[in-house]
């Protein structure tokens, strides 16, 4: 049963209208951010840089670390405590 649900979820993901980007070409840039952000965050930041996109984040430390390099918007929903 779980396998069938997982297969269906994967199929839905692959058929979604999301645009997927290969970030392997951004690895050098990501590596350069290792002192300030996590590897996962660096992938998003490098992608935003390459696409000239704005980074939306709930993470105040991430926003503060990268705001001089890319456009950022720190999302702070009312009542949310992190």
pLDDT at 77 over 90: no
Do the domain assignments include residue 10? no
Do the domain assignments include residue 9? no
**pLDDT, tens digit, 9 for 90 and up, residues 21-70:** 998 999 999 999 999 999 999 999 999 999 999 999 999 899 999 999 89
pLDDT at 11 over 70: yes
Do the domain assignments include residue 57? yes
Q: With bands split at pLDDT 50, 70 and 90, how would you rate the model's confidence at 20?
A: confident
Q: At 57, phi and psi to the nearest 5? A: -150, 150
Question: What's the token pair of residue 73?
Answer: 């918007």
Q: What pLDDT is stored for residue 18 in this prediction?
A: 86
> Helix, strand, or coil here: 74?
strand
Distance CA 72, CA 7 (A): 35
Do the domain assignments include residue 5? no
Distance CA 60, CA 25 (A): 27
The contacts of residue 35 (CB under 8 Å, 6+ apart) are none
pTM of the model: 0.73
């Amino acid at each position: 049963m779980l396998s069938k649900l997982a297969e269906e979820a994967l199929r839905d993901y692959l058929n979604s209208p999301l645009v997927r980007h290969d970030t392997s070409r951004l690895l050098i840039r990501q590596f350069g951010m290792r002192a300030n952000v996590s590897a996962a965050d660096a992938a998003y930041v490098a992608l935003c840089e390459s696409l000239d996109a704005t980074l939306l984040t709930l993470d105040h430390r991430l926003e503060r670390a990268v705001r001089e390099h890319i456009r950022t918007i720190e999302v702070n929903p009312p009542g949310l405590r992190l």
